[in-house]
Structure 1
Amino acid sequence: MSRYLLNKFLYTVDRDPELVERYRSEPRELVAWWEAERANAVLNCHTGEASTWLRFDEAEREALATHDHVKLFELGAHPFLTLTLFIAMFERDNTEPLEYQKYYGARLAHFALPYPDIAT
């Protein structure tokens, strides 16, 4: 398991409107593509440097592919990264102000201190 890689996925997808739309409409395909093409690129580096060892485990892949923000939190994904990306994908489906944010929080309400470790 790699909290770093989960957070890197959330961070990089959230910053590209095309990737946000792909993640909304075809999450499994985007997760597989991103893992193969982007997971090992050095973050914020444009020199072509890359590592070779980063990959998601099955639990991470499944949580990402199903947009399961509760499972992502359990796995150590940072909730602010998940929330901002999921707002970009799902807030438009709601009619009430802050409706998605309330839904997001309600699904995490069963967690008590100490929260899962989100440090990377």
Structure 2
Amino acid sequence: MSKYLLNKFLYTVDRDPELVERYRDDPAGTVAHWEAEYAGRLLNCVAGEATTWLALDDTERAALVAHDYPALFALGAHPFLTLTLFIAMFERDHAEPLGFQLEYARRLAHVTLPYPDIAT
């Protein structure tokens, strides 16, 4: 398991409006595309620099494909990264103000301190 790679997925997808929409509409295809095209790219480095040793495991991949943010949180994904990406994807589906944020809080209400470790 690589919390770094899991958080990198959330971070990079959230910063690209086309990837956000693609992930909303085709999560399995987006995760596969991201792993092939983005996973090896190093953040904040010279273009062309890459790594080949990082990979999502089956549990991480399944949680990403299912848009299962409680599972992602349990796996150690940073809560700010999950919240901002999923707001971008699903806030429009809620009529009331802060609708998705309230849904996010409801679905994570069972989590108690100490929270899962989010260090990478």
TM-score (norm 2): 0.98
**Which 10-residue stretch deviates more, 40-49 or 89-98?**
40-49
**Which 10-residue stretch deviates more, 87-96 or 40-49?**
40-49
Alignment gaps of 5+ in structure 2: none
Corresponding letter in the other structure for 2:110: H
Deviation for aligned residue 1:43: 0.9
TM-score (norm 1): 0.98
**In structure 2, C-alpha distance between the alignment counterparts of 1:65 and 1:46, rounded to whole Å:** 30
Can you list the C-alpha shifts for 1:38-76, whole angstroms capped at 9, x where unaligned?
101001224210001111000000000010000000000
**In structure 2, C-alpha distance between the alignment counterparts of 1:55 and 1:99, rounded to whole Å:** 33
- Aligned equivalent of 1:107: 107
**In structure 2, C-alpha distance between the alignment counterparts of 1:53 and 1:36, rounded to whole Å:** 12
Q: Give the match's secondary structure for 2:34.
A: helix
Deviation for aligned residue 1:91: 0.3
Percent identity, aligned pairs only, is: 71
- Aligned equivalent of 2:23: 23
- Aligned equivalent of 1:119: 119
Within a 5 Å distance, the mapping from 1:1-120 to structure 2 comes to 1-120=1-120
**In structure 1, C-alpha distance between the alignment counterparts of 2:38 and 2:46, rounded to whole Å:** 12
Equivalenced residues, count: 120
Can you list the C-alpha shifts for 1:56-107, whole angstroms capped at 9, x where unaligned?
0000000000100000000000010000000000000110000100000111
Alignment gaps of 5+ in structure 1: none
Cα-Cα RMSD: 0.7
Deviation for aligned residue 1:37: 1.1
